[in-house]
Chains A and B, each alone.
Chain A
Amino acid sequence: DTEVTQTPKHLVMGMTNKKSLKCEQHMGHRAMYWYKQKAKKPPELMFVYSYEKLSINESVPSRFSPECPNSSLLNLHLHALQPEDSALYLCASSQWTSGNEQFFGPGTRLTVL
């Protein structure tokens, strides 16, 4: 299995809702990432998990809360989001945490009303 899966594909939520995005990989990769991508812009790194521990948080607001329950799963918990948080949220994984190619999932397209 050489793919990263993400659920849901699409999500519409209100500003008071709580929702979660899920990401899964079964390639044995030890690093997992969350990116945010706005339309016609490059992906922006949000979080990096290395060996199931949070290693990088790129100054992301606390309304985004990542979680890595095990080496195959990565969640992103969402609470009290703003309309400007609407974007494509991409999960990625890589074998190690230093300079390896990253495998991206198809993303979750999030709309915040």
Chain B
Amino acid sequence: GQQVMQIPQYQHVQEGEDFTTYCNSSTTLSNIQWYKQRPGGHPVFLIQLVKSGEVKKQKRLTFQFGEAKKNSSLHITATQTTDVGTYFCAGLGQTGANNLFFGTGTRLTIIP
């Protein structure tokens, strides 16, 4: 079955440091989405990438979709305490059905 792995599983950074999480799929994806889940909260959509090699930016967040459409990354510049949470990538398979496969997630904690 389809698997979407993320590394690292946990990341502790000092406030102001950068953070990156990597997402790898066992199969080619039609698109990839990123979600953030705060502690005790629910997943909140951040962005969707569709094209091979696509790069999108949202303020301090940079998202990238690999050329082979099997991997993706999220980079946060100069982390802030509000960035705390678990970041999930979620891949949509090529079958056309809307069944997202969530990655294993990276839990980010910030040391003030």
Contact = CB atoms under 8 A, between A and B. Distances in A.
Contacts, number: 57
Contact of A97 (B42, B43, B98): B98
Interface in B58-110: 88, 92, 96-105, 107
Interface in A26-74: 31, 40-45, 48, 50, 55-56, 58
Nearest to B101: A45
Contacts of B100: 45, 102
Contact of B98 (A31, A40, A41): A31
Contact of A55 (B43, B88, B97): B97
Interface residues of B, number: 23
A25 B102 CA distance: 22
A40 B107 CA distance: 9
18 contacts: A31-B98, A41-B105, A42-B105, A48-B98, A56-B97, A90-B42, A96-B98, A97-B97, A97-B98, A99-B30, A99-B50, A99-B92, A99-B98, A100-B98, A101-B48, A102-B33, A102-B45, A104-B43
